[in-house]
Amino acid sequence: MKLNEYLKEMEYELVRGDADREISEPVYDTRKVVPGCLFVCIQGANFDSHDAVAEIAEKGAAAIVVERDVELPEGSKTSVIKVKDTRYACAFIAAAHEGHPAKRLTTIGVTGTKGKTTTTYLIRSILEQAGHKVGLIGTVEIIIGDRHIPAGHTTPEAYEIQRYFKEMADAGMDTVVMEASSQGFLLHRTQGFIFDYGVFTNIEPDHIGPGEHKDFEDYLECKSRLFRQCRVGILNGDDAHLPRILKGHTCETETFGLSENADLRAVNRSLDHTPGLLGVTFSLAGALDFDIRFPMPGRFSVYNALCAIAVCRHFGVTKEQVNTGLQAAKVKGRVESVKIPGDFTLLIDYAHNAMALESLLTTLREYRPKRLVCLFGCGGNRSRLRRFEMGEVSGKLADLTIITSDNPRFEEPGDIIADIKTGMAKTVGKYIEIENRKEAIRYAIVNGEPGDIVVLAGKGHEDYQEIEGKKYPMDERVLIREIMEHAPAVNSAGARLIVPKETVR
């Protein structure tokens, strides 16, 4: 492909050289420079490849894209293209290299603080019931047909997104649904195409701090970019920040929610509780009119289901396809129910900060469990404030907290647990301290009582434990199976196992 074909959908200045020259491939890593490539300089957190342009040119790059002035060796034949933002340019170059695959797909982007992962899986499940072939890009994984690829970022780099789009289109997918994170917008990873549908779930302060967003205003502004990059915006009409999310929008808009003003509404809401399963039922009003039963708990689940339905109605789905899709959806680590013997409910959830944990436990309280048991730990080399806050939240809302290890990274698990206990000390909540996570889960299961709700919080979809720079296999579903194989005494009466070396308050 010619250099000018890579550049034709973006603004640029040809600083030196020729734009009518052949390019072998675009490259973004100095270690992967090959003769004839188009190299895009990126300023990263630890390294700025603008500082290596001389070396890149000497290795034979045909052209280099920069966002600031650079100097090449005397006599170099490498072309230099200057743009305002190389990350922004990177997305357009990646799209051109892959043949603009988004044009072969219906693209759905989901942004928001909470609910993105669940909503993308629900959309995919409903649309597949309607006969569509749907790819997915998100926090947990990338799904292309039968392939499941573990995710590195919620929203991958631009060149990875475009490659996935091409693989999906080549594999016969007709639709892709993806999580669009604020970091993805901040770093222009989602540029290079227009979303057919942009979706907003909700927004609360999050991802604010060094290396992320400087403040809530910046976080909100990044989220709002989706609605200047999509054709149809589908938004939570109940969110107080909606007017600011829509500031400067260029798309058609419609809303979903619980209020009378929403275009698609959930009415006649009720809780659905059977042993081992928590859910919600409601009726649709406004743009659609039929009943819904959804096997995930709480008010936030109503919003997630409603959001997915609001999107899928544009594909002409039937009520049978909607309900079957909601029942069939499997969302790993998001209020995930795990079937085990015994008349109590066991859940796995990704809640790993105080805001998420409070929302989760408050929701589960609505189901009036005999006891609400919360097992969690906190990650090492992260804010200690999160530990204090999570300890206080669980102490206030759970009947019993089981404090254990999460991803200690380069900290001692005992030190992290001590911080959690500091937060617990602000409450009168009962707790048990069991550092080994498998033993903590064993205690929770074997001591489960009829009517209990037991939630394993923090790990969710993760299948590893990170200790001193290494990730060790640890999937809570696997741990549960192993525990059950050696715990035949678990029954509806609830067994009693006292785990050695526990500390009980």
Burial class (CB in 10 A: 0-12, 13-18, 19+), 210: exposed
What is the C-alpha radius of gyration for the chain, rounded to an integer number of angstroms? 25
Q: What is the C-alpha separation between 293 and 297, in angstroms, rounded?
A: 11
3-state DSSP assignment of residue 38: strand
Domain 336-504, CATH homologous superfamily name and number: Mur ligase, C-terminal domain (3.90.190.20)
Amino acid at site 126: I
What CA–CA distance (Å, rounded) separates 498 from 131?
51
- pLDDT (0 to 100) of residue 492: 36
Q: What angle (nearest 5°) sits at the alpha carbon of residue 350, between those of residues 312 and 176? A: 30
The SS3 assignment for 48 reads: strand
H-type helices in 46-115, by residue range?
A: 53-58, 86-97
Provide CATH code, domain 3-97. 3.40.1390.10
Q: Domain-by-domain residue ranges, the chain?
A: 3-97, 101-328, 336-504
- Residue 504: per-residue pLDDT: 58
The secondary structure of 416-481 as a DSSP string is HHHHHHHHHTTS--EEEE--SHHHHHHHHHHT--TT-EEEEES-TT--EEEETTEEEE--HHHHHH
Q: Which parts of the chain have pLDDT scores under 50?
A: 489-501
Cα angle: 173, vertex 320, 138; to 5 degrees: 40
pLDDT at 277: 82
Does residue 106 contact residue 175 with C-beta atoms inside 8 Å? Answer: yes
Q: Looking at residue 493, what is its pLDDT? A: 35
How far apart CA 482 and CA 23 sit, in angstroms, is 54
pLDDT confidence of residue 498: 37
The pLDDT of residue 137 is 98
Our CA angle for 190, 193, 196, nearest 5°, is: 100
Report d(CA 359, CA 369) in Å as an integer.
16
Question: For residue 109, which of 18, 200, 48, 188 has the smallest C-alpha distance?
Answer: 200
Cβ atoms of 15 and 81 within 8 Å: the answer is yes
Q: To which CATH superfamily is domain 101-328 assigned? A: Mur-like, catalytic domain (3.40.1190.10)
